[in-house]
Amino acid sequence: RLTGQQQEINSLIQRKSAVDEENARLKNEFCNLNRKFKDKSQELKDTEECAQKKEEQNRLVIKNLEEENKGLNICCANLLSDLEKLRKQEAQWKKEKSGNDTRIKNLETDLAETREQIKSLHRICSHLSSQVDVKQEELFQK
């Protein structure tokens, strides 16, 4: 009976040793998994912080771009307004230029007519001067 108990004790000791080894292996595996979990948790935390920073930067960039866009829209509206004023001014100047061109043509025509009249009057004046000379000669002769 003692040998049976001794065998049972030996068997239990072997089982305990096997269980202890398994426990040590599982404990080691648990430690490794726990370390990996902590590493991954830290990595996730770092990634989330980085993502938050990027998101904040993106928000700032978007805000700045929106502000810049507002400024550019105002600038465009002002430029379009200026362009419209300049187009109206150009139309007015073209109208004035057309009137001035017509006036210049009329003045040139009047000038040409006046020159012809002056030439004609010079001829008449010359002719009359000749006649005066002739009459003076006649008077002198008499």
Percent of the chain exceeding pLDDT 90 equals 94
Cα atoms in the Cβ-side hemisphere of radius 13 Å centred on 141:
6
**Residues across the chain:** 142
Q: Give the model confidence (pLDDT) of 86-110 as tens digits.
A: 999 999 999 999 999 999 999 999 9
- Tell me the CA end-to-end span of the chain in Å, nearest whole number: 201
| pTM to 2 decimal places | 0.51
Residue type, 89: Q
pLDDT per residue over 35-88, tens digit each?
999 999 999 999 999 999 999 999 999 999 999 999 999 999 999 999 999 999
**Six-digit token string for 138:** 């006649």
